[in-house]
Amino acid sequence: MSISRRKLLGSAAASAVLTMPPFLDTFQATQPASGDISVPIGVVDERRSLNGPENRIVDIHVHVDEKNPAYLEEFLRVSERLNLTACMLTPFANRKVVAEAAKKYPRQIVPFGFVELDAPDVVKQVEELHSLGFRGLGEMEFVKKPYNDPSYFPVYELANRYAWIMMYHTGIVLRAKFDEPEDVASGRMRPIHLEEIARRFPRITVIGAHCGNPEYEWAAEIARWNSNVFFDLSGSTLTKMHSRLADFKRIFWWSGQPQDSKTPNDDPSAFVKIVFGSDTELRNIEGVKAQYHAMFDACDVPESTRKMIMGGTLSTMLGLHA
């Protein structure tokens, strides 16, 4: 969750139920009634987008902007320009339209369910998301208990059965209300809680957002020992670390050492435990990409590992090359 989503959060309860558009025959017809997200057609040139899959960026952290009726259309244009696939973090209310869009544009959109772990019917929601073709959950955040609380295990049992990717906010979280009490605590979202989930539910791939900001060392060590744990560097992390990006070399320190767990492609670089995540507005994704590349340069990340971080690892996990 980025600061720019503060407004979204505050108004989430007021958001309208989004409906499916009627049949769409032409691109013109995709202009939706205000408040609806619709599935555009004719935006993406499939042939062009499919070129160069080895250079494809896969972004684990793209939140649907449910306030923007043209969101999917705008996303597809960005997707084509940047050669980018999004794990699209979708509020439950928008599940059907995003599932349909993902079927139409499988190389651009991978649907993830943005559910609340504390919702009384969360297990039912997860089952429905699975039946609609969703590939995981995220971003989990604002939990009432620590992520490893046993009351969340029924969801994790299902995710384990589905061999899903589960993406969790880790570390410091924004404060939405200043004048009223808020039941929100960053301590429930520490990266250390992900370790137990990864070990109890080994078929789940656990991805922590923001690399535990500021508990980067804990995040990295948990990723080192658990082949099914990865982190993104979205949020304020790369901005804060701008003048000391080389510090990541001390945090992801074990490159070339005997490996403690299996890595994608048997890559010997510690940085292969990082995946690309932007967690920003569509127009700023390119800026986050530049921040990742600045970190790569500062830490001498090998070219082959950069490709794994920017898309190779997630493409393999999600079967996007198939």
Stretch that binds Zn ion, among 9-17, 110-118, 202-210, 257-265 (CB under 5 A): 202-210
Q: Binding segment for Zn ion among 33-41, 85-93, 121-129, 208-216 (CB under 5 A)?
A: 208-216
* Residue number with CB closer to Zn ion (43 or 209): 209
The amino acid at 62: V
Q: Which of 72, 126, 209, 238 binds Zn ion (CB under 5 A)?
A: 209
Structure tokens at 239: 């901005």
The residue range among 1-9, 62-70, 91-99, 225-233 that interacts with Zn ion, by the rule CB under 5 A, is 1-9
> If binding is defined by CB under 5 A, does position 188 make contact with Zn ion?
no
- 190 alpha-carbon distance from chain centroid: 17
From 233, 224, 236, select the one nearest 299 (Cα to Cα). 233
Work out how close the CB of 138 gets to Zn ion at its nearest, in angstroms, rounded to a whole number.
9
**Helices 122-131 & 153-162 angle (0-180, nearest 10):** 10
Task: Find the shortest distance in angstroms from Cβ 34 to Zn ion.
Answer: 28
Q: Toward Zn ion, which CB reaches closer, 1 or 102?
A: 1
The answer to whether residue 169 forms part of the interface with Zn ion (CB under 5 A) is: yes
Residue closest to Zn ion (Cβ) = 169
CB of 168 to Zn ion, least distance (A): 8
Minimum distance of Zn ion from residue 167's CB (angstroms): 9
Per CB under 5 A, which region of 145-153, 177-185, 203-211, 290-298 contacts Zn ion?
203-211
Helix H or strand E segment including 230: strand 229-232
Segment interacting with Zn ion (CB under 5 A) among 93-101, 154-162, 169-177, 300-308:
169-177
Q: Is 1 in the site for Zn ion (CB under 5 A)?
A: yes
Q: Which is nearer to Zn ion, 209 or 233 (CB)?
A: 209
Cβ atoms of 189 and 171 closer than 8 Å: yes
What strands, in cross-sheet order, belong to the sheet with 109-114?
A: 57-63, 84-91, 109-114, 136-140, 165-169, 205-209, 229-232, 274-275
Residue 149: half-sphere exposure toward Cβ, Cα within 13 Å: 13
Where helices occur in 163-302 by DSSP H, the ranges are: 192-200, 216-225, 237-240, 247-251, 285-298
- d(C-alpha 72, C-alpha 100), whole Å: 11
Report residue 162 as tokens.
């589905």
| Minimum distance of Zn ion from residue 210's CB (angstroms) | 6
CA atoms within 13 A on the CB side of 294: 16
Residues that bind Zn ion (CB under 5 A): 1, 169, 209
